[in-house]
């Protein structure tokens, strides 16, 4: 559902209020088409238009939600047959609605239907026989005359009449349009309003396999509904019965009536060697506008079919019909649209059309996941913009939907309809898909949509966020759990602070150090996202690097050819974010220290940037392995380790005057040396032959041990007679074990 309108100042507030009320359309008087408005404003007004009729019934709908979960799980509605007689003079409806259903449990006997108390139930039958029932608190509780087991089919027929309730819980409207005034009778049942005019299991997850809608109306009017018109019968009493059949599965809130003196015109969508009718039902006074604007839907059907898969209801029709509500509604195969100027906008048209794929073919299982309807349709507007104007138009359209306010996309409280149709569902929901496209790339992104469209687990059925996520993961090979958890169930968006420093490299060029910090104080504190960083330099030279940002603060180092002048975060605007710059803070860059070996010379250098020189490096937590030391002025870690093992350490660095400090936990791994101390000749044993070998080396210039440090067994930094004595004591008298000396 969609609305486009710019609101300015006091006039805007007045127009906004008017849009929430049933009306004949704000632009009808001058018959002009309003210029393309801002998408975010369109979605705000559209959501408010849907929600306004329901605000007074929050408590009742809380009870309805509980009933759906508690009382209606025992059966699955498979077919509805609606017979509605409409009296536009007395403002009454007379209904006979039959439901076929299957038991989902053994011993089932008590189906509960939703039906507002504003309508009077006259009788209830099952297989033509009267059954007992009660009607209270919005529920029609039926007691069948038999017990049904799992998979067994039963039917219920309800006879009722009355004036559908108005005001806070209104899904059925008697009003007028045009001058002189002509009656118009229409419905808008999303999210909980089918029950305001017909008895049903009013939840989006329970799709009937098919539906018949028969409406008996004044013969001066046309009756429009879902699917294919099977017949129109002149009843010879001034009324005509229009019989529409929806052969595809359909959820209750998408069943629609639209009755008035419509002017109809047709176009055709051609696919292969066949074609499908595209039918338009306009108020006569708005026919010129409809003829000029609505047929673009034919091109849009072809476009979305090429992106996702064939139009889902190809054996029936697509259509549009005027109704008096503000905004529009994606009734299956027959979108209802306001007769105001924005009702002719091409982006409203494509929003509602794309719902035929995302919302009608595949429906959110519950209203908590409404973004899978509305966010998807809003994103399809941007795809249409890209189709018309390329990537620049696409990005401009997405930028116009940037939702920078709090709240999360998943709707916790679905009894508050204002929450269900909030702007974050439309706009931030669209941005989730835009960001997913940037994350996994065009090929995997559009393949995900095509797979989603074709998946038999969801086609003609219902879905939740995690099922779409799993398809995207399977296609892309990317783990997207964090992405969907953070963007659908998290709040707000990342606020990035970026800073950079650089240093010249030996041989030319520069190493650029970029520090990226997320500062948002809401949940999540870290958005795990691929981020593009564009380094800009003199002469227009720039390079863009893609990194995976997974920490609250993270450092990256890049090679760059010239002196950098700035760093741009996400230059192609793939992320819903805020970006600020700050001075580069002192940062210890090392993500690891190199591994060493016992008794082997070791050297590594800690690297810091930012702050002011000189730096002072320290071992902040832990102790270095014996034989190693850290030069506090240079950050050089060196020596010859005499022990082995894994040494968890935290290194730190201060800048000049101890103004700034940074620390980094790292693990230094020293592997055990294969050397045997005292084994001067390398034969794998410390014995008399090693004493002879050492005497020959010290006094006769014989070959040095390998490494030469093995000769300094007493570690006095010299190979001498004292080492020979030390080794003799060790081998023959049980003296202290040889040490690894400090000789080179």
Please state the rounded mean pLDDT for residues 598-605. Answer: 91
Q: Report the percent of the chain where pLDDT is more than 70.
A: 91
Say what the pLDDT of residue 52 is: 56
Say what the pLDDT of residue 418 is: 80
Say what the pLDDT of residue 167 is: 77
pTM: 0.80
Side-chain-facing half-sphere of 222: CA atoms under 13 Å: 17
- Domain(s) labelled CATH 2.60.40.10 in the chain stretch across 588-671
Closest to 397 (Cα-Cα) out of 362, 433, 358? 433
Closest to 307 (Cα-Cα) out of 193, 129, 453? 453
Query: For 588-671, CATH number?
Result: 2.60.40.10
Quick one: how many helices (H) and strands (E) in the chain? 15, 38
Q: 713-737, pLDDT tens digit by residue?
A: 888 989 999 999 998 999 999 898 8
636 forms beta bridges with 605
Looking at domain 676-744, which CATH architecture does it have? Orthogonal Bundle (1.10)
Phi, psi of 519 (to 5 degrees): -115, 0
Non-local (6+) Cβ contacts of 699 within 8 A are none
542 forms beta bridges with 536
Closest to 44 (Cα-Cα) out of 421, 433, 414? 421
Please state the rounded mean pLDDT for residues 596-601. Answer: 90
Q: Report the percent of the chain where pLDDT is more than 90.
A: 75
Q: Flag whether pLDDT at 18 surpasses 50.
A: no
Q: Are 93 and 84 in contact (CB under 8 A)?
A: yes
3-class secondary structure for 534-586?
EEEEHHHCEEEEEEEECCCEEEEEEEECCCEEEEEECCCCCCCCEEEECCCCC
Give the full edge-to-edge strand order of the sheet including 328-329: 263-271, 274-282, 318-322, 334-337, 328-329
Say what the pLDDT of residue 27 is: 33
Binning pLDDT at 50, 70 and 90, where does residue 543 land?
very high
Element (DSSP H or E) covering residue 133? strand 132-136
Q: Flag whether pLDDT at 515 surpasses 90.
A: yes
Say what the pLDDT of residue 36 is: 54
Q: 450-503, pLDDT tens digit by residue?
A: 999 999 999 999 999 999 999 999 999 999 999 999 999 999 999 999 999 988
Say what the pLDDT of residue 60 is: 45
Neighbours of 597 (CB within 10 A): 17
d(CA 314, CA 297): 14
Q: Are 725 and 694 in contact (CB under 8 A)?
A: no
Binning pLDDT at 50, 70 and 90, where does residue 49 land?
low
Q: What angle do CA 479, 484, 487 make, to 5 degrees?
A: 140
d(CA 419, CA 412): 8
Binning pLDDT at 50, 70 and 90, where does residue 63 land?
very low
Quick one: 432 exposed, middle or buried, by C-beta within 10 A (0-12, 13-18, 19+)? buried
3-class secondary structure for 320-359?
EEECCCCCEECCCCEEEECCCHHHHCHHHHHHHHHCCCEC
Q: Are 211 and 257 in contact (CB under 8 A)?
A: no
Report how far apart the first and last C-alpha atoms of the chain are (Å, whole number).
Answer: 80
Q: At what angle do helices 39-52 and 346-354 cross, to 10 degrees?
A: 60
- Domain(s) labelled CATH 2.60.40.1840 in the chain stretch across 495-560
Complete DSSP assignment for 286-315: GHHHHHHHTTHHHHHHHHHHHHHSS-TTTT
Say what the pLDDT of residue 450 is: 98
Say what the pLDDT of residue 360 is: 98
Say what the pLDDT of residue 56 is: 39
d(CA 350, CA 346): 6
Please state the rounded mean pLDDT for residues 247-263. Answer: 98
Least reliable range by pLDDT among 256-270, 614-628, 710-724: 710-724
Say what the pLDDT of residue 45 is: 63
- Domain(s) labelled CATH 1.10.1330.10 in the chain stretch across 676-744
Closest to 731 (Cα-Cα) out of 679, 681, 682, 683? 679
Closest to 41 (Cα-Cα) out of 378, 490, 492? 378
Binning pLDDT at 50, 70 and 90, where does residue 95 land?
very high
Top pLDDT among 705 and 153 is at: 153
Least reliable range by pLDDT among 39-48, 174-183, 415-424, 544-553: 39-48
144 forms beta bridges with none
CATH superfamily of 495-560: Aminopeptidase N, middle-beta domain (2.60.40.1840)
Q: 361-419, pLDDT tens digit by residue?
A: 999 999 999 999 999 999 999 999 999 999 999 999 999 999 999 899 999 998 877 88
Q: 206-241, pLDDT tens digit by residue?
A: 999 999 999 999 999 999 999 999 999 999 999 999
3-class secondary structure for 483-526?
HHHHHHCCCCCCEEEEEEEEEECCCCCEEEEEEEEECCCCCCCC
C-alpha distances in Å from residue 719, one per residue of 13, 162, 602, 727: 94, 111, 22, 12
Mean of pLDDT over the chain: 90
Residue in the structure block whose two tokens are 């509904």: 225
Q: Are 119 and 162 in contact (CB under 8 A)?
A: yes
d(CA 650, CA 191): 56
Give the full edge-to-edge strand order of the sheet including 258-260: 172-177, 182-187, 258-260, 222-224
**Cα torsion angle, 279, 460, 112, 465, sign:** negative
Element (DSSP H or E) covering residue 657? none
Residue in the structure block whose two tokens are 């401009």: 396
Q: Flag whether pLDDT at 331 surpasses 50.
A: yes
Binning pLDDT at 50, 70 and 90, where does residue 50 land?
low
Closest to 301 (Cα-Cα) out of 269, 332, 273? 269
CA dihedral 361, 366, 367, 369 (to 10 degrees): -80
Neighbours of 5 (CB within 10 A): 25
Say what the pLDDT of residue 100 is: 98
Say what the pLDDT of residue 34 is: 37
3-class secondary structure for 367-378?
HHHCHHHHHHHH
Please state the rounded mean pLDDT for residues 289-309. Answer: 98
Asked whether the bond before 524 is cis by omega within 30 degrees of 0, the reply is yes
3-class secondary structure for 593-641?
CCCEECCCCEEEECCEECCCCCCEEEEEECCCCCCEEECCCCCEEEECC
Q: At what angle do helices 429-440 and 481-488 cross, to 10 degrees?
A: 160
Question: Can you read off the two tokens belonging to residue 360?
Answer: 């009608």
Asked whether the bond before 191 is cis by omega within 30 degrees of 0, the reply is yes
d(CA 282, CA 278): 13
Q: Flag whether pLDDT at 446 surpasses 50.
A: yes
Binning pLDDT at 50, 70 and 90, where does residue 431 land?
very high
């Amino acid at each position: 559902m969609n609305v486009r309108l710019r609101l300015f100042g006091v006039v805007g507030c007045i127009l906004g209020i008017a849009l929430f009320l049933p009306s004949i359309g704000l632009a009808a008087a001058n018959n002009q088409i309003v210029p393309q408005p801002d998408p975010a404003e369109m979605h705000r007004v559209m959501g408010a238009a849907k929600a306004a009729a329901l605000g007074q019934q929050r408590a009742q709908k809380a009870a309805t939600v509980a009933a759906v979960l508690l009382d209606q799980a025992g059966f699955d509605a498979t077919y509805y047959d609606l017979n509605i007689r409409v009296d536009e003079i007395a403002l009454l409806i007379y209904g006979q609605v039959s439901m076929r259903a299957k038991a989902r449990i053994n011993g089932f006997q008590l189906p509960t239907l939703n039906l507002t108390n504003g309508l009077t139930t006259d009788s209830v039958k099952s297989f033509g026989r009267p059954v007992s029932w009660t009607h209270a608190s919005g529920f029609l509780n039926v007691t069948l005359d038999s017990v049904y087991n799992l998979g067994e089919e039963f039917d219920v027929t309800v006879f009722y009449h009355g004036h559908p309730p108005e005001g806070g819980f209104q899904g059925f409207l008697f009003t007028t349009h045009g001058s002189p005034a002509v009656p118009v009778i229409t419905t808008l049942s999303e999210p909980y309003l089918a029950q305001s005019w017909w008895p049903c299991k009013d939840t989006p997850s329970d799709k009937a396999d098919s539906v018949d809608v028969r409406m008996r109306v004044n013969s001066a009017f046309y009756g429009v509904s879902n699917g294919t018109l099977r017949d129109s019968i002149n009843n010879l009493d001034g009324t005509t019965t229009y019989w529409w059949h929806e052969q595809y599965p359909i959820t209750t809130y998408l069943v629609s009536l639209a009755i008035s003196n419509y002017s109809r015109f047709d176009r055709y969508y051609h696919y292969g060697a066949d074609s499908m009718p595209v039918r338009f039902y306009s108020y006569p006074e708005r026919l010129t506008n409809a003829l000029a604007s609505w047929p673009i839907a034919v091109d849009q059907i072809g476009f979305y079919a090429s992106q996702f898969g064939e139009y889902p209801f190809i054996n029936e029709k697509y259509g549009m019909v005027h109704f008096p509500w503000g905004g529009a509604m994606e009734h299956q195969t027959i979108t209802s649209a306001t007769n105001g100027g924005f009702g002719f906008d091409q982006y409203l048209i494509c929003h509602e059309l794309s719902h035929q794929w995302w919302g009608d073919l595949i429906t959110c299982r519950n209203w908590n996941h409404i973004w899978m309807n509305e966010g998807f349709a809003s994103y399809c507007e941007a795809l249409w913009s890209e189709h018309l104007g390329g990537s620049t138009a696409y990005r401009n359209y997405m930028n116009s939907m940037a939702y920078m306010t709090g709240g999360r996309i998943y709707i916790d409280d679905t009894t508050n309809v204002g929450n269900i149709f909030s702007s974050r569902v439309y706009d931030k929901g669209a941005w989730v898909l835009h960001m997913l496209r940037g994350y996994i790339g065009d090929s995997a992104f559009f393949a995900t949509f095509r797979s989603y469209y074709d998946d038999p687990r969801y086609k003609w059925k219902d879905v939740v966020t995690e099922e779409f996520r799993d398809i995207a993961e399977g296609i892309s090979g990317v783990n997207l759990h964090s992405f969907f958890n953070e963007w659908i169930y998290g709040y707000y968006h990342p606020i990035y602070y970026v800073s950079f420093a650089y240093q010249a490299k030996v041989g030319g060029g520069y190493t650029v150090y970029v520090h990226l910090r997320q500062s948002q104080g809401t949940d999540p504190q870290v958005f795990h996202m691929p981020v593009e960083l564009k380094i800009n330099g003199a002469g227009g030279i720039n390079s863009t690097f893609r990194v995976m940002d997974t920490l609250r603060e993270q450092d990256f180092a890049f090679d760059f050819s010239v002196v950098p002048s700035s760093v741009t975060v996400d230059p192609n605007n793939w992320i819903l974010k805020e970006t600020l710059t700050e001075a580069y803070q002192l940062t210890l860059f090392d993500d690891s220290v190199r591994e060493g070996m016992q008794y082997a010379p070791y050297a590594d250098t800690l690297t810091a940037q930012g702050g002011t020189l000189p730096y002072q490096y320290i071992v902040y937590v832990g102790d270095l392995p014996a034989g190693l030391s850290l030069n506090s002025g240079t950050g050089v870690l060196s020596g010859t380790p005499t022990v082995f093992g894994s040494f968890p350490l935290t290194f730190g660095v201060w800048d000049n005057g101890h103004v700034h400090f940074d620390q980094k936990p790292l693990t230094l791994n020293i592997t055990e040396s294969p050397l045997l101390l005292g084994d001067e000749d390398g034969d794998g044993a410390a014995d008399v032959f090693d004493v002879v070998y050492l005497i020959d080396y010290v006094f006769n210039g014989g070959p040095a041990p390998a490494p030469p440090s093995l000769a300094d067994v007493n570690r006095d930094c010299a190979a001498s007679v004292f080492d020979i004595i030390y080794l003799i004591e060790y081998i023959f008298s049980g003296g202290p074990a040889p040490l690894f000396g400090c000789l080179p």
